[in-house]
Amino acid sequence: MTEKPAYNFGYDVSAAEFAVPKSAYLGAHPEAAFKSIGTAALVLDTCTPSKPRVLLLQRAASDSYPGKWEPPGGAVDDDDLSILHAAVRELWEEAGLQAAYMGGPVGEPHFFARSNGDKVCCFSFAAYVPSEGGAILTTKLDPKEHQNYVWATEEEVKAGQVGAVDLEFVREEVQRTVLLAFTHAHGE
């Protein structure tokens, strides 16, 4: 992977509450039953407006949930400038793509427990990356985390298959959220 970018991006007003560090978000929500936050960046390729596609990554065979599919994402670190910065950082680290703009939250947050029992709240955001010549830039995976990627249409996500590739998601909530991302492509 090349040198870490500066992560210069804009964001939609609907994502403003996530433009704060994790500590500030948790401080503003003392009633929250979680102390860990995760993010997902839902990148849509709308170069063919009638057939938008979303980027999905397949987890490495050596990682947790081996071979399962998910959008780029991960944990919000204590030193991330904001929750949105964490989503942008994870997109860069996992797919080599730079977000130019972060849209609003996609769907409701979903929760899961780590192996140590800690409850994690995951927020998903629409992410917009620049295109080159009408095509999304090349995806570059971190092989320690992911072994494959696909660009899937809404129909393919619903069917759980892109060509000969079966899409088994890490959790059902992740698949539901990915499907909701297509509403951003349709301007809903």
Task: List pLDDT tens digits, range 126-184.
Answer: 999 987 766 666 789 988 999 999 999 999 999 999 999 999 999 999 999 999 999 87
All domains in the chain, ordered by first residue: 10-186 (3.90.79.10)
**Contact residues for 156 (Cβ-Cβ < 8 A; gap 6+):** 162, 167
pLDDT digits (tens, 9 = 90+) for 81-131: 999 999 999 999 999 999 999 999 999 898 888 878 888 999 999 999 987
Evaluate if residue 58 carries a pLDDT over 90: yes
Evaluate if residue 2 carries a pLDDT over 60: no
pLDDT digits (tens, 9 = 90+) for 12-48: 999 999 999 999 999 999 998 888 999 999 999 888 8
Residue pair 126/55 in contact (Cβ under 8 Å)? The answer is no
Q: Alpha helix locations (H) across the chain?
A: 22-28, 83-95, 154-159, 172-185
Q: Residue 64, class by beta-carbon neighbours within 10 Å (0-12 exposed, 13-18 middle, 19+ buried)?
A: exposed
Q: What pLDDT is attached to residue 135?
A: 65
Residue pair 43/91 in contact (Cβ under 8 Å)? The answer is yes
